Amino acid sequence: MRKTTLLAPFLLLAPLLLTAQPPEKVDLNVIHRIKAEALGRNSKVMDHAFYLTDVHGPRLTDSKGYRQAGDWVVERLKQYGMSNVHLEKWGPFGKSWNLEYYSGHMIAPMYQPVIAMPVAWTPGTNGVLTGEPVLAPLATQADLDKFKGKLAGKIVLVSAPRELQMTTTPMGVRYTDAELAELSMEQVQVPGLFGGRGGRGGRGPFGAGGLTPQAIQTFLKSEKPALVIQTSTLGQGGALFGGGQNRDADDNLPTLVMAAEHYNRIARLLQHEVPVKLQFEIKASFDPNPDSFNVIAEIPGTTKKDEIVMVGGHLDSWHYATGATDNAAGSAVAMEVMRILKSLNLNMDRTVRMALWSGEEQGLLGSRAYVKEHFADPATMKPTAEHAKIAGYFNIDNGTGKIRGIYLQGNDMVRPIFEQWLAPFHDLGASTVTARNTGGTDHQSFDAVGLPGFQFIQDTMDYGTLTHHSNMDTYDRLSATDLMQISAIETGFVYLTAVRPEMLPRKPLPPPQPAGGRGGRGN
């Protein structure tokens, strides 16, 4: 960590350094044209989002929906006149999984349809399953000892009932001026006392109690219940949130995640010794180890066509809904950036390349594979020839909220550049530049090998409270005006990178990293 005594001289020199920075050439006429195309009646971003969600969602990696979405993107971009449009394979992902059918009901003491969904990679139930559930919360070794030998063939509720609190604050919010001002300030963290910066935390299906989810799964597999039911840990109002199972395992148990309200009702009945009868049916299909793919398209440059500006987001989604805010939003915007640049017939020195990634939800797999193949293997950190040709990568994957600024990923050299690039977009609410890192999405794959990769600051809206990985993540949760604003700003940044005399400054090449050293989001 840098000491204050070392920082003081730098702070005195900082104004001089910024003054010495040559002004960026920002063609305001082009920015005006980009704004007019992105914000006006010609916008197609919501049309892209419609096809990615209502028509081809959900898009769990390598599922039928994902593959159909990939084919649709290729066809749409070819219609727009893009070059080099193709599906680029990156290797076996594991078994693909498709949910073919689900039904759930409480039969007694009163009839009620049950809000629940099978978790990813669960097998089917081999027909209709009817039975009396067992409430068996599993959190400690004592719990495992208590229920050992008692769960075979049962419908088992493995989570403790969760008390739901009355919501007294808005579920959807935008950044306030004060919050943006605070976000613009660098954070100093003491190693060993705080976790990594940025990133989006996960919510697990099991409560704290000393046992890992893996230990609980191992116990359940030894018990062989007919069906496992977890309570949703996301909010309330029937919202579902849950994880997935091992996509390569042959012994996964049929598993559901159930809305907390319905889970709690069943648990209360059982606690009061009122007989309960449940009925479920799950049908699922698997395809063994198909090659996964990213979707690639380009607009060729002119004088520096071997130098590349990249824009992207992840095309894959979770499966409880149609993956609208996570991440049809980012994919639709990336497609819109390409459409705007092509329709305006802008003369760009560098080639603009779009990439829509797969396997992001399982750990940035698609973008990591692409970066390793084209630019550098993080384990050895030996750059390829292509590594030197990447001018920058821009990513959207924080929901539907409009852009308020950009994260520098610790690259202070681009601060004066981005501040000048954002100036024409202040009237759209975007002005914040922060040196902070943000994690959990595909720009990290580029940053991990020393390439300038960036994620924009976005209003959080209801991403963390309602839509992220939930059955509420549908087209209806998308804000058209916000996605149009995002399209305008990201197009501007891509264009300015493509015509800038020099490529964006880079941080030093990181040291080699052991395999799996940089984590993405888990299931």
Q: At 313, is the pLDDT very low, low, confident or very high (cuts 50, 70, 90)?
A: very high
pLDDT digits (tens, 9 = 90+) for 346-379: 999 999 999 999 999 999 999 999 999 999 999 9
Report the pLDDT averaged over residues 226-255: 85
pLDDT digits (tens, 9 = 90+) for 7-44: 344 444 444 444 456 799 999 999 999 999 999 999 99
Radius of gyration of the chain, Cα coordinates, nearest whole angstrom: 25
Domains in the chain: ranges and CATH: 26-93+290-499 (3.40.630.10), 96-159+205-287 (3.50.30.30)
Q: How far apart are CA 489 and CA 483, in angstroms?
A: 10
pLDDT of residue 220: 96
Q: What does pTM read for this prediction?
A: 0.91
Q: Is 177 left (phi over 0), alpha (psi -120 to 50) or beta?
A: alpha
The span from the first CA to the last CA of the chain, in angstroms, equals: 33
CA pseudo-torsion sign 445, 447, 83, 318: positive
pLDDT of residue 356: 98
SS3 content of the chain, % helix, strand, coil (to 5): 35, 20, 45
pLDDT digits (tens, 9 = 90+) for 114-163: 999 999 999 999 999 999 999 999 999 999 999 999 999 999 999 999 98
pLDDT digits (tens, 9 = 90+) for 406-442: 999 999 999 999 999 999 999 999 999 999 999 999 9
Report the pLDDT averaged over residues 81-96: 95
Q: Is residue 500 pLDDT above 70, yes or no?
A: yes
pLDDT of residue 18: 46
Q: Which residue type does 276 have?
A: V
Nearest to 463 by CA among 484, 440, 492: 440
Q: Is residue 341 pLDDT above 50, yes or no?
A: yes
